[in-house]
């Protein structure tokens, strides 16, 4: 039996806000498809050089009242980062709430504009504990 990972799809309410969020994480748009008949847009974003691992944003032009207010049933997307403190600071500087700060120098969680949980994991060994992260409390749920 042959199996190949293709992508992860998440539905979004505000396509521009969602694209901006994923670009803050460093993802780049790799392709886009608009369906006049189906009245939706698909946007694929992936880390540079990893086009085979995209997230697909699905935007329904007529709205999507069925989107849950809390997307915990989805689980999360996970990305390894070179410096978790720098990435979290960059996200905070751009208005993103750090729901689970990287107190351990290893793991953090944030949420997309559509409430998708995003796990950030430090590449290699954990970074040494550092402020403001070491004493920062959780915000909301992740």
Q: Any idea which residues carry the catalytic annotation? A: 119
Long-range contacts of 66-74, Cβ-Cβ distance < 8 Å, separation of 24 or more:
67/11, 67/13, 67/114, 68/115, 69/115, 70/115, 71/10, 71/114, 71/115, 71/116, 71/117, 72/117, 72/141, 74/10, 74/116, 74/117
- The verdict on whether omega for the bond into residue 132 sits within 30 degrees of 0, i.e. cis, is yes
State whether residue 57 is helix, strand or coil.
Answer: strand
Beta strand ranges found along the chain (DSSP E) = 8-12, 28-35, 40-46, 55-60, 76-81, 98-100, 107-111, 117-122
């Amino acid at each position: 039996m042959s199996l190949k990972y293709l992508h992860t799809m998440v539905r979004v309410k505000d396509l521009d806000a969602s694209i901006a969020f994923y670009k803050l994480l460093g993802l780049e748009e790799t392709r886009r498809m608009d369906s006049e008949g189906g009245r939706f847009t698909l946007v694929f974003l992936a880390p540079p050089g990893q086009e085979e691992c995209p997230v697909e944003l699905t935007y329904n032009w007529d709205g999507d009242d069925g989107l849950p207010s809390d997307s915990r049933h989805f689980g999360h997307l996970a990305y390894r980062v070179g410096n978790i403190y720098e990435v979290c600071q960059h996200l905070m500087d751009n208005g993103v709430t750090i729901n689970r700060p990287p107190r351990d120098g290893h793991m953090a969680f944030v949420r997309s504009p559509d409430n998708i949980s995003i796990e950030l994991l430090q590449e290699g060994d954990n970074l040494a504990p550092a402020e403001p992260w070491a004493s920062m409390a959780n915000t909301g749920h992740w």
